Amino acid sequence: MTRTVVVTGGGTGIGRAVAAAMAADGDDVVVTGRRQAVLDRVAAELGVRAVCCDAADPAQAEALAATLERVDVLVNNAGGNTDFDRDAPGADLKALAENWRANLDANLLSAVLTTAALDGKLADGGAIVHIGSIAADKGAGAYGAAKAALASWNIDLARTLGPRGITSNVVAPGYIASTEFFRDFLTDQRRDSLIAATNTGRAGTPEDIAATVRFLASPGARQITGQVVAVNGGEWPTR
């Protein structure tokens, strides 16, 4: 039977690579995101379905669920970092609060709300994969805290869904090149130091992450649940 796979934030970067890998396997893939034009392009390029949806908005998450009959694999990939620099103690409190709320919305609530909205549609024996981050172990401000909370919640979710044969795991990337994620932040020096911290001497690619997501959603991974799988070239979080 053809599986239905939902990839939040599937229009770009890692999500797009996941959507491409699953579509190539013959899955019926649905990508979501907030930019219709980006989704239209990826739908045409990959032959997938697209639904414009802000994953952090409860009403839009419910509207997404209403378009789907059944979901075999959910990839909670939507996320991003609103601003590394506004986390510092001493920052304007209003800006600090906005930054924390935005990071929690983008990286934690997006996954919680999408999962809750689709819960009634999740097929027994299915799989959920969340995209976390090495930042969860680095103390990386609001973003890292949101990804750490995602990993904690994943343990609960795996326990709750276990009796239905549904697995829940986090894939935690290290530095991944060629996505929109770092576009506004990354200096050449910072990029070089992230690569130097790996054993492999290279940045990860969206396809590295997609390969792990694909495995965790496959029959061979049915006994893996409640885990965080690091895909980071052996980078040890720097403190």
Q: Please give the residue ranges that form the binding site for ligand NDP (CB under 6 A).
A: 8-9, 11-15, 32-35, 38, 54-56, 77-80, 106-107, 110, 131, 133, 173, 175-176, 179-181
Q: Find the shortest distance in angstroms from Cβ 84 to ligand NDP.
A: 12
Q: Which two tokens stand for residue 103?
A: 């990071």
Strands 49-52 and 228-231 turn out to be unpaired
The residue assigned the tokens 């999408």 is 114
Q: Find the shortest distance in angstroms from Cβ 1 to ligand NDP.
A: 27
- Nearer Cβ to ligand NDP, position 179 or 225? 179
CA 169 to chain centre: 11
Measuring CA to CA, which residue among 163, 222, 233, 152 is closest to residue 198? 233
Which helix (H) or strand (E) segment holds residue 150: the answer is helix 141-161
- Nearer Cβ to ligand NDP, position 125 or 193? 193
Out of 100, 143, 175, 181, the active site residue is: 143
Q: Find the shortest distance in angstroms from Cβ 27 to ligand NDP.
A: 19
DSSP 8-state symbol, 12? S
Residue 175 bears catalytic tag: no
Q: Which two tokens stand for residue 155?
A: 């343990």
- Nearer Cβ to ligand NDP, position 162 or 185? 185
What are the residue numbers of the active site? 143
